[in-house]
């Protein structure tokens, strides 16, 4: 069924196309969606880092301002002010003086005695700290003053009470950083992150040098514990969810990173030790930081790096006032999160869509074209089978409509022509039949009266008259045979019997019986092997085989006549062959012998009218087959005929 295969093919083609485009567009969508997400992630990174950088800078600036303001207050309070000391100054056995009012504490190292100015420092700072410390407490973890004389006032008091007696502040990072030598600008400075063994914490300190005019008096300071910044950066990760932040200083030390909090903070170090990257096992991050500190990478531009083998995007921005840099980053996987499942969803959707589309197209193609084409196909096959009354409705004036109209036109003209032909053929057959039939009548008359003449007057007239009568009788007889042959020939088309399943084996037996006298007289050897059953006109097949066999015997050669009948199955149908070892013929005559009344031999050599093979041809053609001969003069002939296989009519 050809049309089904077109339908299937069409379905598969459309499905293929739709799938191709579906999958293509799905991957395109995913690709551009990925690109878009990466771009917006980079933008968001920049936005978030700017925001947090801003906030961080604000906090730091506020602290700095507060620290500077406090510094001024300290300066004003210390110069020329006399206060009485409320608490007792104790001297320990190593020569360190300490005081504590339970709120702030003070310490002087390794002195034998306190001079009045030094006592004044104890008293002045104690009073001042009482006033300002509660205010600073809101923003500062601690607040202290270290004089260039190795004196410290600090709240909370703990450190002042615990500090080693011989402690020298000049080596402390939170002091040395602000000395005139280290800090000629006299402005406030932030220390690097260092370890404070008193608090057991990593911290950075805001140090403001204290100058009375140009005279360096010491510093005021406040510590900034790394925990706070951790909390801040962790807060960012919690608030934003999708990104992480980290801080590193310009020396390439990581200061804060959510993932390293434990590693950094739990380190047990000694006082003033600076934070280093020694335990950072993240090559990507190390390289990133190194690139920034070496100036290889510009700040503020998003770029990609590997965070422990995870491809990530990062934006790094410097923090003002501190030599710190804030990095914010996110992993590629979190950026494209959900994309793979989206990809499958789009893929599935496009497959469903493809099938749906293919079905719709198949249906509409079937409806619009295929059904009509099939109908046309039915029409054509109906006409080819001889049903010329097949009708079909012309749907629309589209291309197929034109075809349908064309088909109807063709059908009508075929019908007309066929009718005309049938009519003519019938006329012709009728003519042949009637002519031969009606010829019998006068012929019989001629023949009968000539015979009557011969009967009554033979020997009574002269010799010539007897000869003439003989010729007339012979002519009449021959004409009689011819007319009978013609009748037989014309009857094949008009007087056939219906086709049915017959055994050609049985036919052969019957033919051999019919020809038994001839066969015996000629001592012919006839062999045949299991011949098939076919659908045919039985009487005509008897006639067909009989004519061919009789011919083979009639045109025998010098040797013993041997005739072989075979049948082979071919694509065209059953191929029968009748092979003899007779006189054969020249190849130029092989077509002529099938024409009615065509003879290759003189009547005196071989009797006959030349009707036998014409009848055979007509019979074979009536069965839709063809007949031919392969022959070699003096060797023999093989007659072939092919009969197509037919369904037995029910």
Interface positions with another protein (CB under 8 A): 437, 440-441, 443-445, 447-449, 451-452, 455, 476, 480, 495
CA dist 339 and 27 (Å) reads 10
Q: Which residue has the tokens 């600076």?
A: 274
We find the least distance from the C-beta atom of residue 451 to another protein, in angstroms, to be: 4
- Closest approach of another protein to the CB of residue 477, in Å: 8
CA 580 to chain CA centroid, Å, is: 67
Give min distance, CB of 619 to another protein, in A.
Answer: 18
Q: What is d(CA 92, CA 99) in angstroms, rounded to the nearest whole number?
A: 11
Residue 124 or 450: the one with the smaller Cβ distance to another protein is 450
> Closest separation between CB of residue 540 and another protein, Å?
15
Q: What residues does 318 pair with on adjacent strands?
A: 325
Q: In what helix (H) or strand (E) does residue 627 lie, and over which residues does it extend?
A: strand 626-632
Distance of alpha carbon 610 from alpha carbon 602, whole angstroms: 11
Shortest spacing between CB 582 and another protein, in angstroms: 32
Which residue, 371 or 451, has its beta carbon nearer to another protein?
A: 451
- Among 282, 491, 349, smallest CA distance to 26 is for 349
* Nearest to another protein of 91, 491 (CB atom): 491
Here the tokens at position 83 are 């206060």
| Nearest approach, Cβ of residue 462 and another protein (Å) | 22
Query: What contacts 558, CB < 8 A, 6 or more positions away?
Result: none
The residue among 456, 482, 481, 451 whose CA lies nearest residue 469 is: 451
Shortest CB 445 distance to another protein, Å: 5
Cis check: omega of the bond before 156, within 30 degrees of 0: yes
Residue 579, strand partner residues: 564, 638
Nearer to another protein, 91 or 480 (CB): 480
End-to-end CA distance of the chain: 24
Minimum distance between the CB of residue 479 and another protein, rounded to whole angstroms? 9
From residue 638, how far is each of 297, 566, 591 by CA, in Å?
100, 11, 13
The nearer residue to another protein, 286 or 451, going by C-beta atoms, is: 451
Block residue for tokens 């063994």: 197
User: d(Cα 130, Cα 73) in Å, to the nearest integer?
Assistant: 13
**Cα–Cα separations (whole angstroms), residue 573 to 64, 287, 504, 564:** 111, 86, 14, 20
Nearer to another protein, 310 or 445 (CB): 445
Residue with Cβ nearer another protein (186 or 491): 491
Least distance to another protein from the beta carbon of 471, Å?
16
Largest CA distance in the chain: 203
Quote the least distance from Cβ 10 to another protein, whole Å: 56
Rounded-to-integer distance, Cα 592 and Cα 628, Å? 11
Q: Determine which helix (DSSP H) or strand (DSSP E) holds 107, and give its type and residue range.
A: strand 105-108
Here the tokens at position 213 are: 């005019």
Distance (Å, rounded) from C-alpha 623 to C-alpha 511? 19
Task: Between 89 and 435, name the residue whose CB sits nearer to another protein.
Answer: 435
Could you tell me the two tokens for 645?
A: 């296989």
Neighbour tally for 582: CB within 10 Å: 24
Judged by CB, which is closer to another protein: 277, or 492?
492
What is the phi-psi region of residue 312: left when phi exceeds 0, alpha when psi lies from -120 to 50, beta otherwise? beta
Cβ at position 456, least distance to another protein in Å: 9
Closest distance of CB 469 from another protein, Å: 12
Q: How far is the CB of 432 from another protein (least distance, A)?
A: 13
Nearer to another protein, 83 or 488 (CB): 488
Please report which helix (H) or strand (E) contains residue 90, including its range.
strand 89-91
Which residues are 249's β-sheet partners?
A: 324
Q: Which is nearer to another protein, 259 or 466 (CB)?
A: 466
For 563, other C-beta atoms within 10 Å of its C-beta total 21
Q: Of 479 and 600, which has the nearer Cβ to another protein?
A: 479
CB of 444 to another protein, least distance (A): 5
294 or 455: whose CB is closer to another protein? 455
Q: Per DSSP, what are the bridge partners of residue 640?
A: 577, 628
Size of the chain, expressed as the number of residues it contains: 650
For another protein, which is the closer residue by CB, 226 or 492? 492
Q: Are 244 and 258 in contact, with CB atoms under 8 Å apart? A: yes
In the complex, the smallest distance separating the C-beta of residue 440 from another protein, rounded to whole angstroms, is 5
* Cβ neighbours for 328, distance < 8 A, ≥ 6 positions apart: 45, 48, 49, 52, 236, 243, 244, 245, 314, 315, 316
When the beta carbons of 441 and 647 are compared against another protein, the nearer one is 441
């Amino acid at each position: 069924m050809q049309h089904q295969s077109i339908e299937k093919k069409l379905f598969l083609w459309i499905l293929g196309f739709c799938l191709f485009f579906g999958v293509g567009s799905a991957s395109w969508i995913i690709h551009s969606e990925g690109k878009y997400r990466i771009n917006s992630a980079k933008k968001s990174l920049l936005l978030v880092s700017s925001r947090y950088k801003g906030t961080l800078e604000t906090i730091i600036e506020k602290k700095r301002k507060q620290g500077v303001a406090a510094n001024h207050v300290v300066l004003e309070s210390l110069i020329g002010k006399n206060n009485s000391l409320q608490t007792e100054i104790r001297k320990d056995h190593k020569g360190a003086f300490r005081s504590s009012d339970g709120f702030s504490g003070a310490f002087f190292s390794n002195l034998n005695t306190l001079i009045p100015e030094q006592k004044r420092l104890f008293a002045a700072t104690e009073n001042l700290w009482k006033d300002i410390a509660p205010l600073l407490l809101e923003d500062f973890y601690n607040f202290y003053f270290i004089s260039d004389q190795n004196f410290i006032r600090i709240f909370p008091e703990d450190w002042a009470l615990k500090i080693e007696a011989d402690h020298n502040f000049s080596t402390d990072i939170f002091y040395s950083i602000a000395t005139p030598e280290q800090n000629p600008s006299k402005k406030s400075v932030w220390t690097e992150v260092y370890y404070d063994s008193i608090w057991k914490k990593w911290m950075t300190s805001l140090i403001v040098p204290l100058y009375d005019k140009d005279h360096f008096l010491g510093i005021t300071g406040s510590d900034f514990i790394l925990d706070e910044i951790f909390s801040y950066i962790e807060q960012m990760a919690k608030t934003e969810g999708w990104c992480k932040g980290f801080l590193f200083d310009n020396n390439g030390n990581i200061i804060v990173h959510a993932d390293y909090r434990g590693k950094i903070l739990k380190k047990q170090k000694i006082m003033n030790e600076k934070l280093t990257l020694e335990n950072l096992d993240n090559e990507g991050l190390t390289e990133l930081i190194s690139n920034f500190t070496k100036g290889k990478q510009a700040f503020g531009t998003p770029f990609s790096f590997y965070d422990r083998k995870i491809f990530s995007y990062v934006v790094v921005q410097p923090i003002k006032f501190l030599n710190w840099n804030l990095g914010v980053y996110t992993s590629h996987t979190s950026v494209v999160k959900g994309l793979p499942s989206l990809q499958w969803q789009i893929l599935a959707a496009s497959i469903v869509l493809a099938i749906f589309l293919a079905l719709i197209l198949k249906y509409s193609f079937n409806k619009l074209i295929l059904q009509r084409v099939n109908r046309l196909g039915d029409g054509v096959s109906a006409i080819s089978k001889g049903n010329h009354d097949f009708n079909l409705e012309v749907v629309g004036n589209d291309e197929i409509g034109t075809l349908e109209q064309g088909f109807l036109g063709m059908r009508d003209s075929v019908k007309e022509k066929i009718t005309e032909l049938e009519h003519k053929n019938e006329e012709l057959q009728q003519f042949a039949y009637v002519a031969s039939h009606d010829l019998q009548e006068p012929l019989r008359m001629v023949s009968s009266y000539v015979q009557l003449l011969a009967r009554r007057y033979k020997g009574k007239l002269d010799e010539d008259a007897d000869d003439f009568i003989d010729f007339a009788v012979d002519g009449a007889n021959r004409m009689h045979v011819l007319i009978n042959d013609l009748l037989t020939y014309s009857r094949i088309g008009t007087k056939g019997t219906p086709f049915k399943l017959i055994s050609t084996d049985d036919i052969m037996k019957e033919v051999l019986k019919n020809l038994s006298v001839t066969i015996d007289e000629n001592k012919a050897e006839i062999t045949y092997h299991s011949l098939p059953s076919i659908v045919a006109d039985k009487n005509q097949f008897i006639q067909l085989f009989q004519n061919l066999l009789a011919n083979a015997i009639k045109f025998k050669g010098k040797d013993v006549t041997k005739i072989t009948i075979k049948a082979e199955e071919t694509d065209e149908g059953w191929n029968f062959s009748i092979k003899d070892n007779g006189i054969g013929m020249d190849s130029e005559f092989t077509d002529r012998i099938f024409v009615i009344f065509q003879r290759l031999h003189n009547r005196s050599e071989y009797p006959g009218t030349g009707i036998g093979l014409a009848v055979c041809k007509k019979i074979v053609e009536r069965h839709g087959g063809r007949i031919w001969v392969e022959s070699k003069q003096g060797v023999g002939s093989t007659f072939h005929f092919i009969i197509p296989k037919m369904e037995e009519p029910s």
